A and B are shown apart, each in its own frame.
Chain A
Amino acid sequence: DAKTTQPNSMESNEEEPVHLPCNHSTISGTDYIHWYRQLPSQGPEYVIHGLTSNVNNRMASLAIAEDRKSSTLILHRATLRDAAVYYCILRNFGNEKLTFGTGTRLTIIP
Chain B
Amino acid sequence: EAQVTQNPRYLITVTGKKLTVTCSQNMNHEYMSWYRQDPGLGLRQIYYSMNVEVTDKGDVPEGYKVSRKEKRNFPLILESPSPNQTSLYFCASSRAFDYGYTFGSGTRLTVV
Per-residue interface assignment for chain B, residues 74 to 93, with 1 indicating a CB less than 8 Å from any chain A CB and 0 otherwise? 00000000000000001010
CA distance A101 to B40 in the complex (A): 10
Nearest-neighbor residue (CB-CB) of A42 within chain B: B105
Interface band, chain A: 20 to 34
Knowing A32-B97, A32-B98, A44-B90 are in contact, say whether A99-B105 is a contact too (CB < 8 A).
no
Given contact pairs A97-B48, A99-B59, A87 touches B43 in the complex (Cβ within 8 A):
yes
Which residues of chain A are within 8 angstroms of B59 by Cβ–Cβ distance? 97, 99
Q: How many residue pairs between the two chains, A and B, have CB atoms under 8 Å in the bound complex?
A: 64
Q: How far is the CB of A100 from chain B (nearest CB, A)?
A: 4
Within 8 A of B (CB), among A5-46: 32, 34, 36, 42-46
Determine which of B41, B45, B90, B100 lies in contact with A43 in the assembled complex, contact meaning CB atoms within 8 Å. B90
**A92 partner residues in chain B, CB cutoff 8 A:** 97
**CB nearest neighbor in B for A32:** B98
CB <8 Å contact, A98 and B33 = yes
A96's contact among B40, B50, B100, by CB below 8 Å, is which? B50
B90 surroundings in chain A (CB, below 8 A): 43-44
Query: Could you tell me the dominant secondary structure of chain B's interface residues?
Result: strand
Q: At the interface, is chain A mostly helix, strand, loop or mixed?
A: loop
| B interface residues, Cβ below 8 angstroms from A | 31, 33, 35, 40-45, 48, 50, 56-59, 90, 92, 97-106
Beyond A32-B98, A44-B92, A97-B57, 14 additional pairs, beta carbon < 8 A: A43-B105, A43-B106, A44-B90, A44-B101, A46-B100, A46-B101, A87-B43, A91-B97, A96-B31, A97-B58, A98-B45, A100-B44, A101-B43, A102-B40
20 contacts between A and B (CB under 8 A): A32-B98, A44-B92, A44-B101, A46-B100, A47-B100, A49-B100, A91-B97, A93-B97, A96-B31, A97-B48, A97-B56, A97-B57, A98-B33, A98-B45, A100-B42, A100-B44, A100-B45, A101-B43, A102-B40, A102-B41
Chain A interface residues (CB < 8 Å from chain B): 32, 34, 36, 42-47, 49, 51, 87, 91-94, 96-103
